[in-house]
Chain A
Amino acid sequence: MSFLAFFEQLAESSWSVALHESEIAYSLIESFHVWSLCLFFGMTVMFDLRLLGWTMRGVPVSEVIRRLQPWTIAGFVLMVISGTLLFYAIPLRSYQNIFFRTKMLMLLLAGLNVFIFHSRVFPSVAKWDADAIPPRAARVAGALSLVLWVGIVFSGRMIAYNWFDCDRQPQPAIINFLTSCVPTE
């Protein structure tokens, strides 16, 4: 089964329709997504700024990770749960939404950045833990994370305002290609 067919089917499931049509539930989940964003994005930004040497220069990097990471992880889990529900309420249109696709791509890249940081950069932290300005590799990881998360929040907000919706034709061929949209007429 193709992704398209799968999400088409999902969009017709009764739970998805119910969530989509329930104004209160949908609004609450969306608000919850924003509050978890405050927790997750806020903590991530402060940590990235520490990696760049732009804040808390007197606090060892490992200490910032140790004390703030539980909050960051909690925020991330809440974001994924609420985000999945939001997607579940509007599966097909989200799947064909260019901003949603951009967001997912950047999420993957942000995850890759975290993986590289923890496997390649962080193991040597003992050597630069107390440095006011961490070494280049750590600063690059911090800057990449900052740029990607700003992009993710930005495209996330745009999902709701999709100007390139599949139902709004005509669209340029490149847009329909990028969104797997096949106009009916």
Chain B
Amino acid sequence: MDLDLLPFFQWCYQTPIGEGIRNSTWLFPVIEAFHLLGLGLTAGSVLLVDLRLLGVGLSKQPVAQIWAGARPWLLGGVTLMFSSGIPLFLSESIKCYYSFAFWIKMTSLFLVLLFTFTVLRHVTQTGLTSNRPLLGRFTAFTSLVLWFGVAWGGRWIGFS
């Protein structure tokens, strides 16, 4: 079965939000700056947890405690990224459709959110890694690789 998403992307392109951003000289850059700040906040909270799991961050505290401290900021960062990323997407959705980097980013994003709120959450909340350092490292590594895909793809959309 062939799922053709192009009409949907074309519809996104002609929405009033997309058009409004395209017609403004400063809206796109300003929304993009907020998107970048959201990326930084997301990265900080993700790194806090992942570095702990790798044993090279805050190692004295239980993983569950670090996760609890990082979680609200992770949710805040992801919310900021979505609320700025969707308008950016609407303004150039057709370009995104043909951009390889965009699809890498969306795939990584889907996988990393799924992974974070199932496997990573379970592993950190239950303290499963306390006597299984390999499991912790594997979890952190997966999370970092996937987030890297999101950040790389995101930056590369702008170059394509």
Q: Nearest CB to that of B35 among chain A residues?
A: A157
The answer to whether B61 has its CB under 8 Å from any CB of chain A is yes
The answer to whether A143 has its CB under 8 Å from any CB of chain B is no
Which chain B residues border A157 with CB–CB below 8 Å? 29, 32-33, 36
Which chain A residues border B58 with CB–CB below 8 Å? 56, 59, 63-64, 67-68
CA A35 – CA B36 in complex, angstroms? 11
Which chain B residues border A63 with CB–CB below 8 Å? 58, 60
Which chain A residues border B112 with CB–CB below 8 Å? none
CB distance from A59 to the nearest CB of B (A): 6
- The secondary-structure label for the interface of chain B is helix
Q: Which of A42, A68, A158 contacts B43 (CB 8 A)?
A: A42
- The secondary-structure label for the interface of chain A is helix
Is the CB–CB distance between A154 and B73 below 8 Å? no
Q: How large is the interface on B (under 10, 10 to 19, 20 to 34, 35 or more residues)?
A: 35 or more
The answer to whether B25 has its CB under 8 Å from any CB of chain A is yes
The answer to whether B122 has its CB under 8 Å from any CB of chain A is no
Residues of B near any A CB (own CB < 8 A):
25-26, 29, 32-33, 36-37, 39-48, 51, 57-61, 65-66, 69-70, 72-73, 148, 151-152, 155-156, 159
5 tightest A-B CB contacts, nearest first: A42-B44, A38-B43, A42-B43, A41-B40, A56-B69
